[in-house]
Amino acid sequence: MKKGHQVTMKEIAKKLGVSVSTISRALKDSPELHPDTKKRIVEMAKEMNYQPNLLAQSLRISRTNTLGVIVPEITSHFFASCISGIQDHANKRGYNVMICQSNETLELEKANIRTLVASQVDGLLISLSRETNQYDHLLDLYNREIPFLLFDRVNEDIPVSRVTFNDEGGAYEVTKYLIKTGCKRVMYVSGPEDLYISKKRKEGYLHALSEFGITADPALVKISDLTTEGNIKVAQEIADMENRPDGVFCMIDPVAIDILTSWKAMGIKVPTDMALAGFTNNPTAAVVEPPLTTVAQPGYEMGKLAVTHLLDQLDGQASDDPISIVLETTLVPRQSTKALQ
């Protein structure tokens, strides 16, 4: 143990293989626990030199009834829907919400966390930026016993609850649809490789290829930085390929829409020359020409489930042990892909 390190209940729980809530009850001498269990926990706490985090306890007792929310960008329709679900259901339970955006940068994400913690929010709901590829700031929150939950863009190594979509399943379904409508060379346009959703959607894409006996071709995976400029660059790279794909699945709708706009300016016809599909079901996807085949993910429902679980943890109605909540997605076929025969 490092000098000056303050042992947490989570560390005791990990050592003994029990839940944090069990540790908490034992240290409060709860009559619900067996005396032998309490004795074992108290002895381990003494052995590890556990000292109660008085600041964290005082903050839990003197609630501000305020939650902090950090999203990559507020202007995104998807994240705006998540925020609506969070705010509506937080308000119903007597909580206010402070909203910050990281503008897709790691440094601003860290600054947002510092600001919200200094404002003494009771808990945080965080969706990671596209730049987030190291997680010390999240581990610091965890070690300080500050309640938080991750949603949509998460990291599986942080031992907190998370709310995600079945990203792999949704990507599998849209890739399968492209193949079943006649595509033989399907490309996946990913976001930064460190992003959870980039990895999971690629897994779904590869699963569909494998199921149809199609060998994965590294040349048919492109990576965009998710900026408009980056998306246009990828559109040009695809157009310049000697052996173009006949179908392209983009990790999110904004990438697909930027590519569609670029291709139209080049005279490339969708879906005649290349079929195109996205993931998110942004409102714009239904009104571009041709309308974009995509995968619908209910942002409002994600926000509702995320805030409900965090508040249940804060109010002692749910265990502090991390859980994974996974929402299903729905394929939305439109005219940017050929119809099933």
Q: Report which listed range, 1-10, 47-56, 155-164, is most confident.
A: 155-164
Residue 58 belongs to some domain of the structure? no
**Which residue did the predictor score with more confidence, 233 or 29?**
233
Q: 273 and 307 share a domain?
A: no
Q: 193 and 273 share a domain?
A: yes
Residue 336 belongs to some domain of the structure? no
Q: How confident is the model at residue 13 (pLDDT cuts 50, 70, 90)?
A: confident
Q: 114 and 135 share a domain?
A: yes
pLDDT at 56 over 70: no
Q: 99 and 78 share a domain?
A: yes
175: helix, strand or coil:
helix
Residue 55 is predicted with a pLDDT of 52
163: helix, strand or coil:
strand
* Sheet architecture: strand order including 162-165: 96-101, 66-71, 123-126, 148-151, 162-165, 324-327
Q: 285 and 233 share a domain?
A: yes
Q: 201 and 255 share a domain?
A: yes
pLDDT at 71 over 70: yes
**Cα 136 to chain center, whole Å?**
18
- Taking residues 215-239, what's their average pLDDT? 97
Residue 54 is predicted with a pLDDT of 54
Q: 150 and 104 share a domain?
A: yes
pLDDT at 149 over 70: yes
pLDDT at 45 over 50: yes
Q: How far is 100 from 109, CA to CA, in rounded Å? A: 9
Domain of residue 149 covers 65-164+299-325
- Taking residues 272-293, what's their average pLDDT? 97
First vs last C-alpha separation in the chain: 64
pLDDT at 4 over 60: no
Sign of CA dihedral 148, 63, 308, 107: negative
Count of domains for the chain: 3
Residue 38 is predicted with a pLDDT of 87
- Taking residues 244-258, what's their average pLDDT? 98
- CATH assignment at residue 39: 1.10.260.40
- Taking residues 284-305, what's their average pLDDT? 97
Residue 330 belongs to some domain of the structure? no
Residue 139 belongs to some domain of the structure? yes
pLDDT at 59 over 70: no
Residue 1 belongs to some domain of the structure? no
- CATH assignment at residue 127: 3.40.50.2300
Residue 331 belongs to some domain of the structure? no
Residue 341 belongs to some domain of the structure? no
Q: 239 and 283 share a domain?
A: yes
Q: 138 and 107 share a domain?
A: yes
- Taking residues 266-272, what's their average pLDDT? 97
Q: 257 and 306 share a domain?
A: no
What predicted TM-score, i.e. pTM, was given to this entire model?
A: 0.81
Residue 262 is predicted with a pLDDT of 98
Answer yes or no: are the C-beta atoms of 293 and 336 closer than 8 Å: yes
Sign of CA dihedral 104, 105, 110, 112: negative
Residue 1 is predicted with a pLDDT of 46
Q: 113 and 44 share a domain?
A: no
Residue 333 belongs to some domain of the structure? no
Q: What is the DSSP string of 134-154?
A: --HHHHHHHHTT--EEEESS-
Buried b (16+ CB within 10 A) or exposed e, 141-158: bbeebbbbbbbbbbbeeb
Convert the pLDDT of each residue in 326-338 to its tens digit. 999 999 999 999 9
Q: 189 and 266 share a domain?
A: yes
Phi then psi for residue 275, to 5 deg, are -80, 155
